[in-house]
Each structure stands twice: as structure tokens, then as C-alpha cells.
Amino acid sequence: MSETTHDGGVAVSAPPSPDEGLSAADLAAKYGLSVSGARPGLASYVRQLWGRRHFILAFSQAKLTAQYSQAKLGQLWQVATPLLNAAVYFLIFGLILKADRGMEREVYIPFLVTGVFVFTFTQSSVMAGVRAISGNLGLVRALHFPRASLPISFSLQQLQQLLFSMIVLFVVAVGFGSYPRLSWLLIVPVLVLQFLFNTGLAMIMARMGAKTPDLAQLMPFVMRTWMYASGVMFSIPLMLEEHPKWIADILQYNPAAIYMDLMRFALIDGYGPASKVLPPHVWAVAGGWAVLVAVGGFVYFWKAEERYGRG
């Protein structure tokens, strides 16, 4: 036995070996040891993430199930929660504030419900993203996995939640006279694009929230402002008729409004011709937002990979 000083030597009664006298770095290099906790390159990071796809999916489903497991009605709340939400907005904006601005009831109610559900998808992805790292520090500090698994998993949980909401939405649409037709197929690409956009946004928020957990307090206000500016309960062109047109243009091109309008256009009979309710180049803009935010968010998140969970 020997007292260890800071010579970095092997203090066990070790047999003399050919490695005697090598510095730590040389010894590590000789046996192919790598620095613990270094950030992988972007390509290998994507590969690692793909290797964890089963975990990402299982984690999102587990979160979804755990959410209502204590409630008596159990998984029924998956459908009941969005339904109640839509009812409240209808009560306030449809009946009390009359935000429909002359839209027929057959159009306005599905219009409102679609808006609420689609925006909630983005909203809850952002909120879950903020806490994806800061709320799961135990997990981050205990296990090794590409950290992007967490925000992706949370967006995926929100997507599954939205799929439950879509059941309600279909019932509402049919109930108000919009029957299934070919354009309903457009819902799929809209959901894919919005999911990409949300995931990117969740990753951006996850990195910011990991550094500044206070964002969790601030974000609800930001999201509510965004909601009112995106025409969830009213049609932007109708509401801003007497204002300069560029204001309505800016609001209409914001990603939340784009995805909402595309979904309404796909779903609701009598919502109007594309030229009137959709801004020009709408699909290009929807795809552009999705790719820009998803790729940008991913790279931005990856840049801080080795720093998550520090302190």
C-alpha cells in the first residue's frame, strides 16, 4: 500500500507492467480510452438518437399513460380534456364576445375547435420543451442518452395527445355538416409539418430552459400573446378588415396561424376557397417554417449537449 500523492501513478500493489511510466493521456490513447462525456459529432449524434428511437417512443407513451392513471375516468380524459377546452372557448368567444364576425355557426364552431386544438399542440410542446431538461435533471444526471431524446419525446407525447383530440374534432366537424371528403387527406401532411416545427421549437426551448429555468414562469404569457395574435378564435382577415393589410399579412404568415388555417381549410366544408382564406404560397411557407425550425432547433440543442445537467 502506498500513500497516493498527486503523481497520477497506480497505487495498488500492481505488478510491473510495460505501461509503467506512461502519462495518463498516453495510457488512455494506447488502450483506446476516450474522454468521458465529450460531445459527439452531428452525424454520430443523429445515429445515436436513431438508436434510441424505441426509448423515445416508449417514454412518450409512458408519460401519456401516467398522466391520467390516478383519475377515476382514466384515459377517457385524453378525449374529455380537449372537448371541455373547446366548450369553454365557445362559451366565451362564440356566445359572449361574438368573435365569429358573421361566420355561420356551421363554420365557426369547427373553426374554433380546430384552432384551439392545433394551437394547443404547439403550446404544450413549447411548455413541455422548456421543462424537458430542467424538469428531468435526475434522469439527465443518472443515465447516458442523447439529450435530444427528451424534447423529441415530449413533442411526440403531445402529438399522440393531439391524435386523441382529432377524434373529437372529427365528431364536431361531422356534427356541423362537414363530411369526410378528399381534402381531409391534407390533414396528414399538415400534422407532419407542424410536428416538425413543434419539435424544433421544443428543442430550442429545452436548451434555453436548461440554462434559465425561469422561462417556465414566463412562457405562459408569451404563448397566450401568440395565441391571441394567431387568430385562434377569430379569422385574421375578417377581424383586421379596417386596419392596414400588412398587419394581417404578418399575422397570417406566422407559423401557428399557417398550420391552423391549413387544417381548417382541409377539414371544414364551406370555410371558403383557398384564395380567400389562405395566404399565397401557403404550403411553401408551412414547409419552410417546419424545416427551418426543426433543423435549426436540432443543431442549436446539440451544440450544448455536453453541458446539460451540469451544476
Partner 1 sequence: MAEQTDRTMIPTVIADELHIVYRVNGAKTGKGSATAALSRIIKRGEERGVRKVHAVRGVSFTSYRGEAIGLIGSNGSGKSTLLRAIAGLLPAEKGHVYTDGQPSLLGVNAALMNDLTGERNVILGGLAMGMSREQIRARYQDIVDFSGINEKGDFITLPMRTYSSGMAARLRFSIAAAKDHDVLMIDEALATGDRKFQKRSEARIRELRKEAGTVFLVSHNNKSIRDTCDRVLWLERGELRLDGPTDEVLKEYEKFTGK
Contact residues for partner 1, defined by CB under 8 A: 1-4, 6-15, 17, 19, 23-25, 27-28, 31-38, 51-52, 54-55, 58-59, 62-63, 65-66, 69-70, 136, 138-145, 306-307, 309-311
In terms of CB distance, is 33 or 88 closer to partner 1? Answer: 33
Smallest CA-to-CA distance from 188 within 172, 166, 157 is with 166
In terms of CB distance, is 143 or 182 closer to partner 1? Answer: 143
Q: How far is the CB of 9 from partner 1 (least distance, A)?
A: 8
Distance in angstroms (rounded) separating the CA atoms of residues 215 and 199: 18
Q: How far is the CB of 54 from partner 1 (least distance, A)?
A: 5
Smallest CA-to-CA distance from 227 within 122, 104, 85 is with 122
Smallest CA-to-CA distance from 183 within 279, 294, 283, 267 is with 267
In terms of CB distance, is 219 or 278 closer to partner 1? Answer: 219
In terms of CB distance, is 66 or 96 closer to partner 1? Answer: 66
Q: How far is the CB of 237 from partner 1 (least distance, A)?
A: 41
**Helix or strand or coil: residue 146?**
coil
For 153, residues 6+ apart whose C-beta sits below 8 A from its C-beta are 55, 56, 57, 59, 60, 63, 132
In terms of CB distance, is 60 or 122 closer to partner 1? Answer: 60
In terms of CB distance, is 89 or 145 closer to partner 1? Answer: 145
Q: How far is the CB of 55 from partner 1 (least distance, A)?
A: 4
Write the CA distances from 83 to 17, 76, 116, 167, integer angstroms: 72, 11, 10, 10
The most distant pair of C-alpha atoms in the chain lies apart, rounded to whole Å, by 90
Q: How far is the CB of 212 from partner 1 (least distance, A)?
A: 10
Distance in angstroms (rounded) separating the CA atoms of residues 111 and 270: 11
26-63 burial, b at 16+ Cβ within 10 Å, e below that, comes to: eeeeeeeeeeeeeeeeeeebeeebeebeeebeebbeeb
Q: How far is the CB of 137 from partner 1 (least distance, A)?
A: 9
